[in-house]
Homo-oligomer: A and B are copies of this chain.
Amino acid sequence: MTESPVPHEPPIYRRIADTLRNRILSGELRDGDRLPGENALMAEYGVARATARQALAVLINEGLAVPRRGSGVYVRLFRPIRRHGSRRLSRQQWSQGRAIWDADTRGRPYTVDEIHVERVPASEAVARLLDTDDVWIRRRRYSIDKRPVQLATSHFPADLVEGTAITAIDTGPGGVYARLGELGYSPVHFTEEVRARMPTPQEANLLKLPAGTPVIVICRTAYTTGGMPVELNEMILDSASYVLQYDFDA
- Interface residues, chain A, with chain B CB atoms under 8 Å away: 1-4, 6-7, 10, 14, 58, 61-63, 80, 85-86, 89-91, 94, 113-118, 139, 167, 169, 186-202, 212-216, 239-240, 242-250
CB distance from A136 to the nearest CB of B (A): 10
Determine how many copies of this chain the complex contains: 2
Q: B3 to A200, Cβ gap below 8 A?
A: no
Q: B139 to A248, Cβ gap below 8 A?
A: no
CB distance from A155 to the nearest CB of B (A): 15
Q: Which chain B positions have C-beta within 8 A of A167?
A: 1
Residue of B nearest to A7 (CB): B202
Q: Which chain B positions have C-beta within 8 A of A202?
A: 7, 10, 14
Q: How far apart are the CA atoms of A90 and B248 in the complex, in Å?
A: 9
CB distance from A246 to the nearest CB of B (A): 5
Name the contact of A169 in the complex, choosing from B1, B86, B193 (C-beta under 8 A). B1
Q: How far apart are the CA atoms of A187 and B58 in the complex, in Å?
A: 36
Name the contact of A1 in the complex, choosing from B62, B116, B213 (C-beta under 8 A). B116
When A198-B212, A212-B198 are in contact, do A116 and B4 touch as well, CB less than 8 Å? yes
30 inter-chain pairs at a CB distance below 8 angstroms, sorted by A residue, are A1-B167, A2-B118, A3-B115, A4-B113, A4-B114, A14-B200, A14-B202, A61-B198, A62-B198, A63-B198, A85-B248, A86-B248, A89-B250, A90-B250, A91-B250, A186-B250, A188-B250, A189-B248, A189-B249, A190-B248, A191-B246, A192-B247, A192-B248, A193-B244, A194-B245, A195-B242, A195-B243, A196-B216, A197-B239, A214-B239
